[in-house]
Amino acid sequence: HYLVPLSMAQKSKWRKKGVKLHIFNDHTFIAKHLSGGTTCQVCSKSVARRLGKQGYECRDCELKCHKHCHIKVDSNCTNSTIQNIELAYIQSPYMDRRVLQLKKS
C-alpha cells in the first residue's frame, strides 16, 4: 500500500500497482466502488452510482463517504490499525505533504 500525493502519483516514477491509502483522523481510507443506495456518512447525501471508484471506505471501521468528504470526518477511527503499519518516509522535492510507503517484509 502507498500513500502518495496526487502531484507525485501522476509522475511515471511513482505509478505503481497497489492500493493507495488516504489517512485522515486515524481512518485508513481506500478508494472503492460503492453500491447503489450508499449514503455518505459525513454529509448524509447519496453517493452517485457510476463506473469507477466513486467513494472512500475506511478499511478499519468501514465508514463510507464521498472522496471529497474524507477530509471532513470529525471523529477519529475507533478501530484504527495505523499504529501497527510500518511506514517508511520517501524524500521528494515536491514535499507538499508527507509521502509514506509501507515497508516490505
Q: What is the pLDDT of residues 9-67, one digit of tens each?
A: 666 655 556 678 888 899 999 998 888 788 999 999 998 877 778 899 999 999 999 99
Where is pLDDT greater, at 45 or 84? 45
pLDDT of residue 62: 94
Under the banding of pLDDT at 50, 70 and 90, the label for residue 91 is low
Q: What distance in Å separates the CA atoms of residue 14 and residue 93, rounded to the nearest whole number? A: 13
Residue with cell 477519529: 76
- Would you say the pTM of this structure is higher than 0.85? no
CATH numbers and ranges of domains, the chain: 2-102 (3.30.60.20)
Residue (of 100, 60, 87, 97) closest to 76 by Cα position: 60
- DSSP state, 72? G
